[in-house]
């Protein structure tokens, strides 16, 4: 597998929205403030808040911007796959609607992708409003032993890699799906996202399949990107939690060797859905208080 072609400079940025709120406008504005050769495709999963339509009206004269409207909520991965099929760039950037990507960060990420041999997927350190990195920026495959260590806060090796974030480019097992760059040829080789996921864990799945195919998953530790986190889900936490748990089960069944043991798989299934049910009361209380 040859390295990414640095002469392919045109970039296609894909943002999926689903009632993402005002943060979506900031995301679009930050991308379109960049002067690099790019296109931004916003694919909307049947939002009812009117924000994608308002952005489309405000940007109707910008040839770099396109909106695709889905009649139903297709989920994250299926929406990205449909948007990617209508883009032209040899580099794909998958960006959450509550992330702000500036030109310096985008240029740095493109430079890394162009120079790192066998780079198949590249992520960045995503941070909250206070600049605190999200531990999910730098993580491992969530196999059962690691997931249990993380859940029960044991000192064993967990899903997230402990310690400060690296300040340079490192190879890792998985990065945050809030911001991912891929050469188009790698994305197409993978057939994009696994559409069996609706929301959550499809990024972990893609990272794993990229590695299994012989490419490298990298984290640009020196690139920090603001991530609002949860803009699309604050008003429907139970809906999001359901699909997160369903995604965890799908990943476990696909990749975890422990899933081959029927009794272990049964216990994991029961534990996942018991955890989901136990979270519902608190989620509903927090939603009412907002």
- Domain boundary residue among 173, 196, 227? 227
Q: Tell whether 155 and 206 lie within a shared domain.
A: yes
- For residue 67, is it within any domain? yes
Which residue among 227, 252, 269 closes a domain?
227
pLDDT, tens only, 56-99: 999 999 999 999 999 999 999 999 999 999 999 999 999 999 99
Looking at the fold, whether 189 and 279 belong to one and the same domain comes out as no
Do 58 and 37 have their domain in common? yes
Q: What is the mean pLDDT of residues 199-224?
A: 97
CATH number at residue 190: 3.90.550.10
Q: What is the 3-state secondary structure (H, E, C) of the chain?
A: CCCCCCCCCCEEEEEEECCCCCHHHHHHHHHHCCCCCEEEEEEEECCCCCHHHHHHHHCCCCCCEEEEEECCCCCHHHHHHHHHCCCCCCEEEEECCCEECCHHHHHHHHHHHHHCCCEEEEEEEEECCCCCECHHHCECCCCHHHHHHHHCCCCCCCCECCCCCCCCEEECCECCCCEEEEEHHHHHHCCCCCCCCCCCCHHHHHHHHHHHCCCEEEEEEEEEEEECCCCCCCCCHHHHHHHHHHHHHHHHHHHCHHHHCHHHHHHHHHHHHHHHHHHHHHHHHHHHHC
Q: What average pLDDT score do residues 259-267 get?
A: 96
Residue 249 sits in which domain range?
237-289
Task: Single out the residue in 204, 227, 250 at which a domain terminates.
Answer: 227
Q: How many domains does the chain have?
A: 2
Task: Tell me, yes or no, whether 79 and 221 share the same domain.
Answer: yes
Assess if residue 21 is contained within a domain: yes
Query: Would you say residue 271 lies in a domain?
Result: yes
Specify whether 124 is located in the same domain as 195.
Answer: yes
- Residue 268 counted as domain residue: yes
Could you tell me the pLDDT band of residue 286, with boundaries at 50, 70 and 90?
A: confident
Same structural domain, 147 and 285: no
Task: Give me the sign of the Cα torsion angle 126, 131, 136, 138.
Answer: positive
Q: Which residues on adjacent β-strands are paired with residue 161?
A: none
Residues 143 and 203 in one domain: yes
Largest Cα span, the chain:
59
For residues 67 and 40, the answer to whether their CB atoms sit within 8 Å is no
pLDDT tens readout for residues 121-162? 999 999 999 999 999 999 999 999 999 888 787 877 889 998
Q: Are residues 74 and 174 in the same domain?
A: yes
156/252 same-domain check: no
CB atoms within 10 A of CB 11: 25
- Give the pLDDT confidence score for residue 282 in this predicted structure: 82
Shared domain for 146 and 273, answered yes or no, is no
Residue 2 maps to a domain = no
In a domain, 58, yes or no: yes
Q: Are residues 82 and 213 in the same domain?
A: yes
């Amino acid at each position: 597998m040859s390295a990414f072609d640095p002469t392919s400079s045109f970039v296609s940025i894909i943002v999926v929205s689903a009632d993402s709120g005002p943060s979506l406008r900031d995301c679009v504005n930050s991308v379109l403030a960049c002067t690099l050769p790019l296109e931004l495709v916003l694919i909307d999963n049947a939002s009812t808040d009117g924000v994608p339509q308002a952005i489309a009206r405000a940007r109707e004269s910008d040839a770099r911007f396109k909106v695709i409207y889905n009649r139903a909520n297709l989920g994250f991965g299926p929406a990205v796959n449909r948007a990617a099929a209508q883009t032209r760039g040899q580099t794909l950037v998958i960006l959450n609607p509550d992330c702000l990507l500036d030109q310096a960060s985008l240029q740095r990420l493109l430079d890394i992708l162009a120079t790192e041999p066998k780079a198949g997927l590249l992520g960045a350190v995503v941070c909250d409003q206070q600049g605190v990195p999200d531990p999910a920026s730098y993580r491992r495959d969530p196999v059962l032993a690691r997931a249990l260590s993380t859940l029960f806060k044991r000192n064993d090796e967990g899903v997230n890699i402990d310690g400060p974030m690296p300040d340079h480019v490192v190879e890792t097992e998985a990065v945050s799906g809030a911001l991912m760059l891929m050469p188009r040829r790698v994305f197409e080789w993978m057939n994009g996202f696994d559409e069996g996921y609706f929301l959550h864990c499809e990024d972990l799945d893609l990272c794993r399949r990229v590695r299994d195919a012989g490419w490298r998953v990298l984290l640009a530790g020196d690139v920090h990107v603001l991530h609002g986190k949860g803009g699309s889900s604050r008003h429907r936490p139970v809906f999001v939690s359901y699909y997160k748990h369903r995604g965890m089960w799908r990943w476990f069944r696909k990749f975890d060797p422990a899933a081959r043991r029927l009794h272990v798989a049964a216990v994991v299934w029961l534990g996942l859905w018991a955890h989901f049910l136990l979270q519902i009361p608190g989620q509903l209380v927090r939603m009412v208080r907002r």
